[in-house]
Amino acid sequence: MASRVVLAYSGGLDTSVAVRWLTEHHGAEVIAVAVDVGQADHRGGEDWELVRQRALAAGAVEVVVVDARREMAEEFCVPAVMANALYEGKYPLVSALSRPVIVRHLVDQARKHGAGTVAHGCTGKGNDQVRFEVGTRALAPELEVLAPARVWGMSRRDCIDYAAKWEIPVSSTLEKLYSIDENLWGRAVECGAIEDPWASAPEDAYVLTEVTQARPVAVTVGFEGGVPTSIDGRALTPHALIVELTRRVGATGFGRIDAVENRRVGIKSREVYECPAALALVMAHADLEDLTLERDVRHEKIRLEHRWAELVYDGMWYSPLKAALDAFIVESQRHVTGEVRLRFDPPGVGRVEGRRSPVSLYEHDLATYDDTDAFEHADAAGFVRLWGQSVATWAARQGVAPASVTSGRPGERGGAR
Ligand code: ARG
């Protein structure tokens, strides 16, 4: 009996060629698994029947289309909001969030179809191979992994010729401008003119953030326990909320990221992203945490958020440290409830204009500069004296002259010549 391989299938050139290649070179029966993570939700939806036909034409013995959009929204995007997740302070993890969703379904289908191997279409240069393979090993260590595009040595031209030879219908042409990965959380664009980090990214790289709205847009996002639950007072599922926010905020040009990032495989790459909903939600959520989290919790969380994003970027969604950080984050979200008012000024500027919460820790009576405030001014003197006690002792016994502003070194005189 031929061995069965479950392939992560997108309907594009590479994965279509991979179906045939695995059949030819491994004598495999290929089960193509296409996972809908919202890749077409911002542009009218994907034609999954076409994707199915293409996989069959390429030689798949079976095609499975999985609708994972709710899962993507609730189990991956929402935790990313709770973690205010931005890799290297910029990138909301678009591709990094979708791979563990896909992996979960590959493993599930491998078990259902008695397949001993899963395969993906990634090359050896990117992060996505890491996410597919480390994720698979975490969930199903018994499965083998194949990465045909890492070994077949075909150029884009070769792949197009290979598809033609086997009569695989593909829409790709040689003049493809960019490599694009998209899902509910946004769009990642690389290659072509973007590979010169000094060159401005061409306007046609952007789709979700084309400015079609001339006037400012105001949006109020409501959160309950850290989960975004409403827009302008209307309750929405996370999926519907992300789709609507992408459309409304993207129309003002907000959500573009142009960055050089450090890949896990040790190279720097220049990427552009457009993630209107992700950036708006993280901005709003972080602001609500400023209002509702106790100071030490907020500070510790800021330290851990960076690590969470790094783990997810590095393909460690299913890992013990990620699970432990999740426990911290979930506990921290109990009172992250309230509303944040955002304003977007075309082209591309967004900010928080106001926030409120029934469990706000902002105490007006303590904060006000009014002379009727409730703050115990007399307590401050003793508090500050003790706070600085150790520094005062150090200064008296060992302290050196203060650092010069111009030389930057302690005890050195700057300025006066
Ligand atoms: N650099 C981003 C990441 O590693 C985006 C990758 C996009 N993937 C792609 N196949 N174009 O998450």
Residue 97 neighbours by CB under 8 Å, 6+ apart: 72, 76, 77, 80, 183, 185, 312
d(CA 333, CA 247): 27
Paired sense of beta strands 4-8 and 256-262, if any: unpaired
Q: Which class in CATH covers the domain with range 4-68+93-176?
A: alpha beta
- Picking from 189, 157, 185, the residue whose alpha carbon sits closest to that of residue 172 is 157
Ligand 1 centroid – CA 93 distance (Å) = 9
Token digits of residue 19: 């179906």
* Per-residue tokens: 342: 């955002």
Residue whose Cα lies nearest atom 6 of ligand 1: it is 95
Helix axes 13-26, 156-165, angle to 10 degrees: 70
Q: For residue 125, how far is its CA from the centre of ligand 1 (angstroms)?
A: 10
Strands 338-345 and 217-224 turn out to be: antiparallel
pLDDT on residue 414: 45
Identify the CATH homologous superfamily for domain 180-356. Answer: Argininosuccinate synthetase, chain A, domain 2 (3.90.1260.10)
Give the end-to-end CA distance of the chain in Å, rounded to a whole number. 88
| Ligand 1, CB cutoff 6 Å, lining residues | 95-96, 127-128, 179, 181, 188, 190, 271
For residue 371, the model assigns a pLDDT of 86
Residues taking part in catalysis: 14, 99, 128, 179
Residue minimizing CA distance to atom 4 of ligand 1 = 127
Pocket residue to mutate for ligand 1, from 257, 271, 275, 313, most atoms within 8 A of Cβ: 271
Our mutation pick for probing the ligand 1 site, out of 94, 122, 127, 261, counting the most ligand atoms within 8 A of Cβ, is 127
Burial, 191: exposed, middle or buried (Cβ in 10 Å; 0-12, 13-18, 19+)?
middle
Long-range pairs, 25-30, Cβ under 8 A, ≥24: 25/148, 26/146, 27/2, 27/3, 28/2, 28/3, 28/4, 28/117, 29/2, 29/3, 29/4, 29/5, 29/61, 30/4, 30/5, 30/59, 30/60, 30/61, 30/119
Where are the domains positioned within the chain? 4-68+93-176, 180-356, 364-405
Length of the chain: 417
Pocket test for ligand 1, best of 86, 95, 312 (most atoms within 8 A of CB): 95
Rounded to whole angstroms, how far apart are CA atoms 165 and 373? 81
Looking at residue 2, its pLDDT comes to 74
- The low-confidence residues of the chain, meaning pLDDT below 50, are 413-417
The C-alpha atoms of residue 171 and residue 293 are separated, in whole angstroms, by 50
What pLDDT score does 408 carry? 55
CA distance 248 to 277: 9
Rounded to the nearest whole angstrom, what is the distance from the C-alpha of residue 88 to the centroid of ligand 1? Answer: 14
pLDDT in tens, 386-401: 999 999 999 999 987 6
Whether the Cβ atoms of residue 37 and residue 163 lie closer than 8 Å to each other: no
Atom of ligand 1 nearest to the CA of 179: 11
User: Ligand 1 mean position to 105 CA, how many Å?
Assistant: 20
| pLDDT the model gives residue 409 | 59
